[in-house]
Amino acid sequence: MAAPDGRAPVVAVAGNPNTGKSTLFNRLTGGSQRVGNFGGVTVEKKEGALRLDGIDAVAVDLPGTYSLAAASPDEQVVLDVLTGRSEGTPRPDAVVCVVDATNLGRNLFLVSQIGETGLPIVVALNMSDEAERKGIRIDAAKLSSRVGVPVVPTVATEGRGLEALRGAIASALNDRPKFAVVPWPESMEEVCRSVRAKAGGVLTEAEVHRLMFDIGSDLPRRIGWLGAEPALREARETLKLRGMDPVSFEATERYRHLEGLLEGMSTRPVTARARRGYAVDRFLTHRFWGLLVFGAIMFVVFSSIYWLAKPLMEGVVALFGLLGGWAGAALAGTPMLQSLVVDGVIAGVSGVLVFLPQILVLFFFIALLEDTGYMARAAFLMDKVFSWCGLNGKSFVPMLSSFACAVPAIIGTRSIEDPKARLATILISPLMSCSARLPVYVLMIGAFIEPTYGPVWAGVALFAMHLLGLVVAIPVAFVINRFLLRTRPLPFVLEMPPYRRPGVRDVGLKMYRNAMEFVVRAGTVILAFAILIWALTFFPRTEAEGVSESEARAAQLEHSYLGRFGKAVQPAFEPAGFDWKLTVSVLASFPAREVVVTTLGIIYNVGEAEDSDSLLRERLAAASWPDGRKVYTPWVALAVMVFFALCLQCGSTVAVMARESGWRWAAFAFVYMTGLAWIGAVAVYQVGAGLAA
């Protein structure tokens, strides 16, 4: 059957979190998934082809929620899609409601709310094996006849019951089975009808129910109903007078109705068996052992991102180096095209793909931590540490990852449901000292700290640089949370699912989806940045005759738009003790901070000798101002390091931030971090100058 307008039927997959909904969706759609966002919000939308017997449908995975209350962006999206108000997603023709068979009552609460939208429903009674192990037996046929819609027992992890489910969905598209809705009292329906009339008839019955019950709902604003506030207040007053508390009436009445429907449907769980899935919790959330295990797991995650991804990243760089060499030789006749292809395009693509190993490794661990149920425990353990400054226990994994690289970390914040905590985590992640800052620290410490003060102070300086970002991030998070993100945080009410074995297929698909999305969406922006920067250093051309190649490169950089710009803004960096060469190098490293060492090499005319590192250190040590003072003192070196520690010199991070939170927040992060970096560098240099005087 096709939908009325001839398009393929759309089947939404809804359900509570931790019901195996994603696993079921993955099983139903196979690998044919597309990822994006729901219209206008940063809530992930997964779509896939759903082949039913003779029907080609489209399945849409909705975010996991406990109700349609629309208090969180996730709930808002579910309500919008089901009522046909989500931009870019047609109203579904049927809904597959995935319920956890071990917890039927709470799961059917959402199903019953969805039932009121009037959409045909098929219930997938998932985890029916786990229920059986716990001693819960459910008579699916009897339940089906009670609730009025097909109920299909499934075990998504093993693919059991899927054929029956496909069949039930196919018939539901024709038969349009309706869930047994709550028989609301006439005294309430009367109030609802008057509200509906006042709203001008644009609302469905289900939406009016949501409006009445969900105090603080965003719905009136979005349908442009200006008189909603007084009308709803009056309606709720009337409800209260008639003995129906608007806050609790829906829940108590709905649960009472469900209790009636479920009467005699299932056996009670055997308590001892029911607790089995939680047995290790005593250990894993213990105040000593729990924290120890947490630390160990996080250590494994971090060192894997750092060390496991490293050879792969080097492989990507080497591969593109080879490709660049080959392309360079092939295009030797046309120098400009050669430079565009080698230094712009190939370097740019390499700069995108180099992040893939870290993203894949991070999402391997995130998928594992989420699907086993450990992520919820990590959030539980760390909540007290993070919540006071507006972060979330789940912020820990991204923040830790950003010590390796902020790009996978920012994508990894998708595991944080609370939009406010997620945004705060995104905004402070780039402050953590990532591995690309290390070359700058090594150069500066090696040239100006270690020779004078010895290896101990060199170590202290390196450690201090890594600590600096973290120390600054905490007050920054507090300020952002307190003064910039005015919306209310979501209450921390987090289900602790029993520990479960993750499925290989689900972990693999999560890694694949996130990696692909990065390449397609953020990758294009990163590539564009790379080509832009190439152009700024390549033009305008200067033709130096009779000089060495490295001298010609230094002259070209000085002559280019970037070099001219660097000289022009140098006065702004004067208070930090930066000369024009350092300023140009700092500016050139805004797209990617790790290039600063290369740029300094070019600008100080070091060339590509084998001892280029020590040669660069010598040249830096010898550099002097026109009046003969040395440019680099230990204080200038420290100012440079502080600048790099705090500055958002990474086009890839900016592009990913823009992708995950919008350009405005990306611009904000860029401005606040550059500001902090400047203030930090100036403060260090001025203190140093004061001490020396």
Q: Which residues bind another protein (CB under 8 A)?
A: 66-67, 69, 71, 102-103, 105-106, 109, 213-216, 247-248, 250-252, 255, 269, 274, 278, 281-282, 285-288, 290-291, 376, 380-381, 383-385, 387, 488, 491-497
Residue 530 Cβ vs another protein, minimum distance, rounded to whole Å? 45
Return the number of the residue (21 or 46) whose C-beta is nearest another protein. 21
Report the greatest alpha carbon distance in the chain. 96
Judged by DSSP in three states, 95 sits in strand
Instruction: List beta partners, residue 558.
Output: none
Return the number of the residue (58 or 97) whose C-beta is nearest another protein. 97
Return the number of the residue (233 or 286) whose C-beta is nearest another protein. 286
Residue 266 Cβ vs another protein, minimum distance, rounded to whole Å? 12
Return the number of the residue (269 or 439) whose C-beta is nearest another protein. 269
Return the number of the residue (7 or 268) whose C-beta is nearest another protein. 268
Distance in angstroms (rounded) separating the CA atoms of residues 363 and 356: 10
Instruction: List beta partners, residue 14.
Output: 97
Residue 282 Cβ vs another protein, minimum distance, rounded to whole Å? 8
**β 10-15/55-61 pair status:** parallel
Residue 78 Cβ vs another protein, minimum distance, rounded to whole Å? 13
Whether the CB-CB separation of 659 and 44 falls below 8 Å is answered with no
Whether the CB-CB separation of 350 and 322 falls below 8 Å is answered with no
Return the number of the residue (7 or 222) whose C-beta is nearest another protein. 222
DSSP secondary structure of 510-540? HHHHHHHHIIIIIHHHHHHHHHHHHHHHH-S
Residue 189 Cβ vs another protein, minimum distance, rounded to whole Å? 20
Residue 288 Cβ vs another protein, minimum distance, rounded to whole Å? 8
Residue type present at position 235: A
Return the number of the residue (252 or 334) whose C-beta is nearest another protein. 252
Close Cβ partners of 676 (under 8 Å, ≥ 6 residues apart): 472, 476, 646, 647
Residue 626 Cβ vs another protein, minimum distance, rounded to whole Å? 57
Return the number of the residue (109 or 604) whose C-beta is nearest another protein. 109
Close Cβ partners of 10 (under 8 Å, ≥ 6 residues apart): 3, 57, 58, 59, 60, 89, 90, 91, 92, 93
> In this structure, how many other beta carbons lie within 10 angstroms of the beta carbon of residue 338?
17
Residue 381 Cβ vs another protein, minimum distance, rounded to whole Å? 6
HEC profile for 333-378? CCHHHHHHHHHHHHHHHHHHHCCHHHHHHHHHHHHHHHHHCHHHHH
Return the number of the residue (105 or 455) whose C-beta is nearest another protein. 105
Residue 643 Cβ vs another protein, minimum distance, rounded to whole Å? 35
User: Phi, psi at residue 225, to the nearest 5°?
Assistant: -95, 100
